[in-house]
Structures are given as structure tokens and as C-alpha cells.
């Protein structure tokens, strides 16, 4: 038995023909394996004909999807991997880090009882809805998104470049800073334009001075519309309060 193992320890020699034959066999096996994998890839991609000039692929309405697995705990509490077929709905849920707050905080005045204004002529009517005897009234009046957009983009006196301090005051909810901005030259100019565009019987006073809501007299009786600038005037006024042109007689 010992001699047998000693014989096995002797080196085995191969001649050149045997080595070349073994190399050819191994190369054939490798080429065959590559060919099988290539055929499998063609079947997976539904390639029915492959030539140097053109490739034909079989059309299908079904696409092959690779298997998906999911990790879950079994009845013994061990985490196991199982096929996700069908895919659980929990995998489609996404954690949202921020959403709608329970108690929303509005940066603008959400009072729906106040009527908005469509143009510059109605701007004074909007401001008349507030009493500026107290500083809080100006803050409530100016905390309107539509008002800010209008005074920033209006053609008569665009104030977009001057609204920086006011917007910062509204952002920080600083009422004193907002009232301080109301005493600026830009807002005073807008007040004068509002007074000049209003009829004599209903011209508002200074917004910052607190007389818009108290000194304005509501319009009453019949009215007429100017045929030149479409401004609405009171019946007793013979010339338009906006363009100062005479009333057209029909």
C-alpha cells in the first residue's frame, strides 16, 4: 500500500500532442458555454434573426421582469427573504418629511369679508373698508396678496422696487415697521394719486393719517360714465373728475 502511494507521488508527464488536445477540448467547452449564453440572451430579448446587416426582434406586449424579493419576519420572528409577488403596497409608500401643518399660519390677511379691487379706481374703495385710526388697520389692509401684486405692477406708479422693507415687515409680522413704511414718500405719492382720481364728493383722506374710512361719503343717486376715460362720476358732476372732460350729452 505504501509503495502504491509512493507511485502516485511520481510526477506525471504529458507529451505535446496530449497538451494540445486538452487545450482544444477546454477551448471548445468555453466556446460552447459562450454560445449557450448568447442563445439564452437572444431568447430573452426575443431576437429571432441576427445578421450583420439587420436584426429582427419579435414584438410582444409582455416584458420579462426580474424577480423581486422582500424581507419580512416569519412566525418565529426571524427575518427571511421571500419573493415579492405580488408587490406589497407598503413598498409604494413614501415618507414625507414635511406636509400641511395642523394649525396653518397665514402671512397675508385671509379676511374674505373685504371686497377686493379690480383696478386703480377701485383702490380707494378697498381702502375705505378699513378704519385707519389705529396702526393695526393699516397692517391688516396692506396684508393682502392681491393688493401687493397690484401696487407692485400697476402702470400709473409701479412700486416694485420700493416694497422691500414692507415685505420684510409682513414676513416678520412687524406691525410697527409696516406703519413706518406707510409714512414713506412712495406711499404718500400713492395717496395723492388716490385722492386725485376720486370724485370730489368721495375723495378719501390720508391713509396714514387715519381718515380714509371716516371722511369718505358713499355715493348715492344716479351716476354716469365718462365716454373718454370710462370713469364713473356722480350725477351732479358735469366734468369728469378723472380727465376733466365735459359730460357727453346723448
Show Cβ contacts of residue 193 under 8 Å, excluding neighbours closer than 6 positions.
120, 156, 157
- What pLDDT, on a 0 to 100 scale, did the predictor assign at position 53? 56
CA angle, 118 then 219 then 129, to 5°: 55
pTM over the 0.85 mark: no
Q: Is the domain of 187 the same as that of 243?
A: no
With respect to residue 188, please indicate whether it lies within any of the assigned structural domains.
yes
Q: Is the domain of 184 the same as that of 237?
A: no
Return the percentage of the chain with pLDDT > 90, whole number.
0
Q: With 60 as the cut, is the pLDDT of residue 50 above it? A: no
- What pLDDT, on a 0 to 100 scale, did the predictor assign at position 93? 76
User: Residue 214: pLDDT band by 50, 70, 90 thresholds?
Assistant: very low
By residue range, what is the domain housing residue 205? 120-216
Q: With 60 as the cut, is the pLDDT of residue 236 above it? A: yes
Average pLDDT over residues 58-77: 72
- What pLDDT, on a 0 to 100 scale, did the predictor assign at position 87? 67
With residue 49 as reference, give the H or E element that holds it. strand 47-50
Q: Is the domain of 241 the same as that of 175?
A: no
* Separation between Cα atoms, residue 84 and residue 71, nearest integer Å: 9
* Separation between Cα atoms, residue 208 and residue 183, nearest integer Å: 7
Return the percentage of the chain with pLDDT > 70, whole number.
49
Q: Is the domain of 244 the same as that of 199?
A: no
User: Residue 215: pLDDT band by 50, 70, 90 thresholds?
Assistant: very low
Q: How far is CA 242 from CA 189, 201, 204, in A?
A: 17, 13, 15
Do 122 and 194 form a contact (C-beta atoms < 8 A)? no
CA neighbor of 239 nearest in space, from 189, 200, 186: 200
With respect to residue 21, please indicate whether it lies within any of the assigned structural domains.
no
Do 213 and 196 form a contact (C-beta atoms < 8 A)? no
In the chain, the largest separation of any two C-alpha atoms, in whole Å, equals 140
Q: Are strands 55-57 and 47-50 parallel, antiparallel or unpaired?
A: antiparallel
With respect to residue 113, please indicate whether it lies within any of the assigned structural domains.
no
Q: Is the domain of 146 the same as that of 180?
A: yes
With respect to residue 187, please indicate whether it lies within any of the assigned structural domains.
yes
Q: Is the domain of 234 the same as that of 154?
A: no
Number of domains in the chain: 2
Q: With 60 as the cut, is the pLDDT of residue 107 above it? A: yes
With respect to residue 64, please indicate whether it lies within any of the assigned structural domains.
no
Give one DSSP letter per residue of 109-161, joined into a string. Answer: ---TTS---SSGGGHHHHHTTS-TTSHHHHHHHH--HHHHHHHHH-SSS--GG
Lowest mean pLDDT among 41-55, 69-83, 113-127, 145-159: 41-55
Amino acid at each position: 500500500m505504501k509503495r502504491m502511494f509512493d507511485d502516485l507521488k511520481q510526477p506525471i508527464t504529458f507529451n505535446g500532442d496530449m497538451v494540445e488536445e486538452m487545450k482544444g477540448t477546454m477551448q471548445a467547452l468555453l466556446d460552447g458555454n459562450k454560445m449557450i449564453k448568447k442563445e439564452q440572451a437572444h431568447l430573452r430579448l426575443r431576437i429571432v434573426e441576427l445578421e450583420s446587416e439587420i436584426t429582427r426582434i419579435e414584438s410582444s406586449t409582455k416584458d420579462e421582469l426580474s424577480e423581486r424579493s422582500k424581507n419580512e419576519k416569519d412566525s418565529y420572528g426571524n427575518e427571511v427573504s421571500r419573493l415579492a409577488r405580488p408587490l406589497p403596497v407598503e413598498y409604494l409608500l413614501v415618507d414625507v418629511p414635511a406636509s400641511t401643518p395642523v394649525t396653518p399660519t397665514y402671512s397675508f390677511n385671509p379676511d374674505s369679508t373685504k371686497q377686493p379691487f379690480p383696478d386703480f379706481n377701485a383702490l380707494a374703495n378697498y381702502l375705505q373698508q378699513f378704519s385707519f385710526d389705529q396702526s393695526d388697520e393699516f397692517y391688516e389692509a396692506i396684508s393682502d396678496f392681491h393688493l401687493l401684486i397690484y401696487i407692485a405692477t400697476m402702470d400709473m406708479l409701479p412700486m416694485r422696487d420700493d416694497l422691500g422693507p414692507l415685505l420684510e415687515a409682513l414676513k416678520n409680522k412687524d406691525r410697527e415697521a409696516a406703519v413706518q413704511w406707510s409714512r414713506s414718500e412712495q406711499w404718500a405719492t400713492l395717496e395723492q394719486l388716490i385722492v386725485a382720481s376720486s370724485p370730489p364728493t368721495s375723495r378719501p383722506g390720508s391713509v396714514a393719517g387715519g381718515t380714509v374710512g371716516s371722511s369718505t361719503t358713499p355715493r348715492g343717486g344716479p351716476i354716469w360714465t365718462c365716454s373718454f376715460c370710462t370713469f364713473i362720476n356722480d350725477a351732479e358732476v358735469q366734468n369728469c373728475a378723472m380727465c376733466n372732460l365735459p359730460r357727453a350729452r346723448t
